[in-house]
Amino acid sequence: MEELRDQRTLLVAAAGNNASATPFWPAAYATLPGWEDSVLSIGALRSDGEFGACFSNHGGWVRAYAPGERLTSALTGFGTPVPYVYQHSTYDDCRFGFTYPCTCQYPPHNGVLSEPGEAPAKPDQVMFEGHAQWSGTSFATPVVAGLVASRMTAHKETDPRAAGRQLLAANTEYAEVRGAHVPALLPPTWRPVPVAPSEGGS
């Protein structure tokens, strides 16, 4: 991290997917004295862009949020089709206490790293070709990295840290995360998907 800081590199870092306010590293460097310009920590928004995703870490150490639910992206691998083995099971009730169809509920799958007794010996596998839908702060993060790079290109900016600061300063969109209004970095081509509340939710 010290070398990264000294090289004037900007690290756009995922905030993590534990639905927790506990600092997650290296993203939490973003608010430490002397590191503010070096790290841009990113949480995930749900598919409507109005609220934080149920799984996203949060707190004052998360600098901004970007779309991070059910994003279509390539599935890496060498075979065709590529097998994807689920690590975690989905739940009948959202373990994060949210009132919309969280990705911890849908689509239903069994995984090997779930709570003891909940997962079968063999996890579900799905065969993918080309693209799949993904959720996580790791998918919100490259959205922001792309916005930083796009700003550098459009404004002929050679300093990624300056571009990151400018991106945050120019942002006019906000979302709600755990009662706090936070910067929402939304790509111009991104389109929100409405979120229906779960049964009994609000």
**52 beta partners:** 45
pLDDT higher than threshold 50 for residue 202: no
Q: Would you state the pLDDT for residue 118?
A: 61
Whether the CB-CB separation of 32 and 3 falls below 8 Å is answered with: no
The Cα 66–Cα 194 span in angstroms is 16
Specify the pairing of strand 11-14 against strand 39-45. Answer: parallel
- pLDDT, average across residues 111-124: 75
162 and 89 part of one domain: no
pTM: 0.89
Whether the CB-CB separation of 91 and 115 falls below 8 Å is answered with: no
- Please state, as a whole number, how many other Cβ atoms lie within 10 Å of the Cβ of residue 164: 27
150 and 116 part of one domain: no
173 and 146 part of one domain: yes
What are the distances in angstroms from CA 75 to CA 48, 149, 154?
Answer: 24, 23, 29
146 and 64 part of one domain: yes
Residue 119, token pair as written in the block:
């997962």
86 and 115 part of one domain: yes
Q: Of 157, 154, 150, 144, which Cα lies nearest the Cα of 63?
A: 144
- Please state, as a whole number, how many other Cβ atoms lie within 10 Å of the Cβ of residue 126: 14
CATH number for the domain harbouring residue 173: 3.40.50.200
Per residue in 135-172, pLDDT (tens digit) is: 999 999 999 999 999 999 999 999 999 999 999 999 99
**165 beta partners:** none
Per residue in 6-61, pLDDT (tens digit) is: 999 999 999 999 999 999 999 999 999 999 999 999 999 999 999 999 999 999 99
